[in-house]
Amino acid sequence: MPQIKSVTVEITCSDSTTPPAAALVRLSLADVSLADAPSTPVTELDLRWGSGFPITLPLPFDWSQINQKHEYAIEARIENDGQLVYINTTNYTLKPGVGTYQVEVEKVHSVAEGLHGGNLMG
């Protein structure tokens, strides 16, 4: 029988920007034990978000899928029209007894924004 647990995740942003209206928020709990391999999601939550930060969501997961010898981290990303807009760059490790996690995301700048302050020279 599954042992469903839940943690509360509050997503904040490192600057004062606001996510685009109806952006896709993707929150996951992933096995990050193998340093030389991509993380493996245990659970994922996707939803449209039309408001600003902070974004507070419950992240349920099946405790029976957690291997006590592995390391798990909470990952957050926000996309708009299939393009990554925000992502967390810090590891937020799942720890026993912790019920709420504050996950900070940073805005991802496009290549054009990085060139000459966003001014393309013709």
Indicate whether 122 pLDDT > 50: no
Residue 17 makes CB contacts below 8 A (sequence gap 6+) with 107
pTM recorded for the entire structure? 0.82
Helix (H, G, I), strand (E, B) or coil at 63: helix
Residues 41-95: pLDDT tens digits?
A: 999 999 998 788 999 999 999 988 999 999 999 999 999 999 999 999 999 999 8
pLDDT at residue number 19: 87
Peptide bond into 19 cis (omega under 30): no
In Å, how far are 13, 78, 89 from 26, measured between CA atoms? 15, 6, 14
How far apart (Å, rounded) are the C-alpha atoms in residues 3 and 15? 37
How far apart (Å, rounded) are the C-alpha atoms in residues 100 and 120? 43
How far apart (Å, rounded) are the C-alpha atoms in residues 52 and 35? 33
* 120 vs 103, higher pLDDT: 103
Residues 107-119: pLDDT tens digits?
A: 998 665 555 555 5
Helix (H, G, I), strand (E, B) or coil at 111: helix
Give the mean pLDDT of 18-27: 90
